[in-house]
Chain A
Amino acid sequence: MSFVEYSEVVQEDDVVIVFLGHDAMMPVHVRSGAQTQTRYGAIRHSSDLIGRRFGSKVTCSKGGWVYVLHPTPELWTLNLPHRTQILYSTDIATITLMLDLKPGAVVCESGTGSGSLSHAILRTIAPTGHLHTVEFHTERAQKAREEFGRHRVGHLVTVRNQDVCRQGFGVEGVADAVFLDIPSPWEAIQHAKAAIKRQGGRVCSFSPCIEQVQQTCAALVASGLQELLTLEVLLRVHDVRSVTLPLPDFGPEDDQHTHTHTQPAPGNALVTVKTATPPREMAGHTGYLTFATKVRE
């Protein structure tokens, strides 16, 4: 198991995702002899997890069953311990595409936060890229470091515990892309520009408020960055189900051909249709994504 490489069977010290049912999952650190309690009873790691194929059904002590899944950045995003507000997969996907991330890319990120985006970046830039991530909160930085190690991606990432607005990213002229998710991104634009390669690269800033976006755009323009683009992406999850609609009763048909038809039983005729309904409520806003290009100096 690694977040950047699939494997077939669960091994000691892996991090796996236990799937309990619709929208109910939990991350489990596999240790021989350990047990994990679920609503279906206990899972004994030695017998129920280690040596099992990813994707197989595991029966718990109370007789219920769960699936054991290989971790992916998307599953991790849904299961990680929150230390901060996090970015979700819809924004992450857009950021990854719009920053031109691919294997070999060197990326700077701040703040690290709970590492939701970090895992997706690492997945995409492995095996030859590198992530320089900056988190000014000491404890969060340390937690992120430990997590990267446990997920076997530590070799692809450097976590720096410093203030990006004052000290920058700790590297200069190396990055293909920079991502900012901090309260005052306009204060870090100069550092972002300095971190990017002399030949140019891409920048993205995530902000919840439009005033932050305005200040950021002003700073981007002042720094000579180009091709500014501000986007918002919203995901709708549709609920697939059958709905039954009753047919109205218009009374007996006044028609000479009626004898050829069989009249539907009035009052209780129903039609069932398969449909996908949009959610009654949905995440209406996460943040604005502002992209820009640093052109060669």
Chain B
Amino acid sequence: MADNGDDIDAEYRIRDGDYVVLKRGDVYKAAQIQKKRKIVFEKQWFFLDNAVGQLYGTTFEIEAGGAMKPHSAKQDVSAADRDGKKAGTDNRNIVDDGKSQKLTRDDIETLKEQGLKGQEIVQQLIDNSTTFKDKTEFAQEKYIKKKKKKYDNNVTVLRPSTRILAMMYHGREPGKICHLRYDTLAQMLALGNIHAGSKVLVFETCAGLVLGAVMERMGGYGSVIQFYPGGGPTRAGMENFGFPPHFHQTLHEFPLCKVNALLAGRLEAEEGPEAAGEPQEEASSGAEVKEEAPEETQEMEVTAEGDESKEKERQERRRERKVYERKVKMEEKRKKLTATAALLEERHADGLVIASRFHPCPVLLGLLKFLAPSRPFVVYCQYREPLIECYTKLREQGGAISMRLTDSWLRQYQVLPNRTHPVLLMSGGGGYLLTGTTVATDTAKATTKQAKEEEPASKRIRLEEMDGASSNNSA
């Protein structure tokens, strides 16, 4: 660790308020660095205060009282570098009598209470195991690895990325992300051609993980429009990425329940009555509201002075302020909605990503209308049957080609000298994907082309010229 303090490493240092990922073994947990905030992770509790100023990737030892101390270089126990190592060749004389470990459960608890480090406990367990020296070299290594996993209390602080967060969610809370496995998410990002500068539509109920993954690939260039069901978008997973503020400026949102209105061109009309339905004449313009409210509050202050009904007045004032604040918020929301609607109305978005707990068919057929021709779309579903329906409907409707229904298998391997094999437990399924490319639908122009096909050659050329598509036709 070259720690020359100079600012070359500044951007690699953990700062207060940062979103980070904690790692212990193969287990991850997303957290925000907040001073004096207790974190519970893998049956341990600690404070992240000491992580501030350290470099990303640093491993910490958890000390009594929850403090973290940067873990010094390797002093780990491993079978290979144990001196005077003795090992058996097979297990013909090893008997499982349940008495090989001389330390009792209570002894181990006492060691823990004494504040012994994980390493030291593992060493104690080895020293007090009567069968350890008779185990084969491989079995010894396996024993140490298993004990280390249990007693090592080191935590590494990492910078979040799609890889880490997708693995974290899939490992810890697959239900929250519709069981979307990280290799499937990888396919979605690639097949959706997600890249900087494009305009991507996202509809997801994967806690914001898919949204975050898309935003990471866009790098703050272009725009992302998130459709959301219900009262507002879910973005906890996206927040965990800890994107810089300018990324958030490229993120827009649009309620799914207004899609039909937008497609029918009556979004504005619908906005009016709904706003009027709000108490306190929400229909008035934002400018008016802003002028009005401060005056009112000033007036309140004057009348409140020396009055015995002070409390009542104050309550009134609070209520007024609340109403005013809500008005401003509503107005802001409406403005945003109008801006997003304008982005959508052009109907030339560059990509569509769907991953939700809803039936994908109506979502796909509805949102596909906002896509430009020759753009990829990706639909994720935990189940195959709804995607079969999407495939069939889209075939009938037209406007999409190269449709593929796929799923992927992910197999992990243990690679060790003389012990290489697939990992025993593998994921049974990571969900299904329907992918395809949009094309221009048969509009008036296309139908004339269709008609052309039945016509004699000479007439066909003339029609083509009328199309205006051919300026310097050679024929």
Instruction: State the A residues within 8 Å of B (CB).
Output: 4-6, 8, 19, 32-33, 44, 46-48, 51-57, 59, 63, 65, 67-70, 72-74, 89-90, 92-94, 96-98, 100, 102-104, 120, 123-124, 126-128, 198-200, 210, 213-214, 217-218, 228-238, 240, 274-276, 288, 290, 295-297
Contact = CB atoms under 8 A, between A and B. Distances in A.
Nearest to A274: B388
Contact of B219 (A53, A103, A210, A238): A103
Given A93-B191, A124-B217, A210-B420, A54 B474 contact: no
Q: In this complex, which of B182, B196, B470, B471 has the most chain A Cβ atoms within 10 angstroms of its Cβ?
A: B196
Given A296-B57, A297-B2, A232 B402 contact: no
A44 B219 CA distance: 39
Contacts of A213: 413, 415, 420
8 closest A-B pairs by beta carbon, nearest first, are A55-B373, A103-B219, A55-B374, A47-B470, A93-B190, A97-B186, A54-B374, A230-B413
Contact of A100 (B1, B162, B413, B439): B162
B55 interface: yes
Interface stretch (B64-72, B264-272, B300-308, B403-411): B403-411
Contacts of A59: 449, 452-453, 460, 464
B219 A56 contact: no
B458 interface: no
Given A52-B469, A55-B440, A237-B406, A98 B193 contact: no
B453 A47 contact: no
Given A237-B405, A240-B405, A5 B197 contact: yes
27 contacts: A4-B196, A19-B439, A32-B472, A48-B469, A53-B374, A54-B374, A56-B440, A69-B439, A90-B187, A96-B190, A102-B219, A103-B220, A126-B196, A198-B2, A199-B55, A200-B57, A213-B420, A214-B417, A217-B415, A231-B183, A231-B410, A231-B413, A234-B411, A235-B408, A274-B389, A290-B415, A296-B1
Interface of B: 1-2, 9, 12, 55, 57, 161-163, 166, 182-183, 185-187, 189-191, 193, 195-198, 216-221, 348, 350, 372-376, 384, 387-389, 391-392, 401-402, 404-415, 417, 420, 432, 437-440, 442, 446, 449, 452-453, 460, 464, 469-475
A52 B439 CA distance: 13
Given A54-B374, A57-B446, A103-B196, A276 B384 contact: yes
Contacts of A288: 413
Contacts of B389: 274
Given A46-B474, A69-B374, A233 B190 contact: no
Contact of B474 (A47, A102, A198, A200): A47
B474 A19 contact: no
B412 A53 contact: no
Nearest to A273: B388
Contacts of A230: 412-415
B218 A103 contact: yes
A109 to B, nearest CB: 16
Nearest to B463: A59
A199 B198 CA distance: 31
Nearest to B415: A217
B411 A8 contact: no
B186 A56 contact: no
A6 B410 CA distance: 32
Contacts of B475: 44, 47
Contacts of B440: 53, 55-57
Nearest to A10: B374
A74 B193 contact: yes
Q: In this complex, which of A198, A229, A235, A288 has the most chain B Cβ atoms within 10 angstroms of its Cβ?
A: A235
A63 B470 contact: no
Contact of B406 (A5, A19, A210, A238): A238
Given A54-B373, A69-B437, A103-B219, A228 B415 contact: yes
A199 B401 contact: no
B343 to A, nearest CB: 15
A89 B12 contact: no
B444 to A, nearest CB: 13
Contacts of B348: 8
A100 B470 CA distance: 46
A74 B191 contact: yes
A6 B401 contact: no
A94 B437 CA distance: 21
A88 B198 CA distance: 23
B415 A274 contact: no
A55 B437 CA distance: 9
Given A213-B413, A276-B405, A104 B474 contact: no
Contacts, number: 215
A63 B460 CA distance: 9
A199 B412 CA distance: 28
Contacts of A120: 190
Given A47-B473, A55-B374, A276-B384, A127 B166 contact: no
Contact of A127 (B2, B196, B401): B196
A213 B419 CA distance: 13
Contact of A295 (B57, B196, B439, B460): B57
A2 B125 CA distance: 62
Given A47-B469, A288-B413, A53 B373 contact: yes
Given A53-B440, A56-B439, A199-B9, A123 B193 contact: yes
Contact of A233 (B374, B410, B438): B410
Contacts of A234: 408-409, 411
Contacts of A53: 373-374, 440
Contacts of A128: 219
Contacts of B408: 90, 233-236
Contacts of B437: 19, 55, 69
Contacts of A5: 197
B385 to A, nearest CB: 8
A96 B186 contact: yes
B221 A103 contact: yes
Given A47-B470, A126-B195, A240-B405, 15 more contacts: A5-B197, A19-B437, A46-B471, A48-B470, A55-B372, A55-B375, A59-B453, A70-B374, A124-B217, A230-B412, A231-B411, A231-B412, A233-B408, A240-B392, A296-B1
A297 B384 CA distance: 47
Contacts of A44: 473-475
Given A6-B375, A47-B474, A73 B409 contact: no
Given A55-B375, A210-B420, A46 B57 contact: no
A57 B399 CA distance: 11
A9 to B, nearest CB: 10
Nearest to A65: B449
A72 B193 contact: yes
A179 to B, nearest CB: 15
Contacts of B374: 53-55, 67-70
Contacts of A67: 374, 401, 439
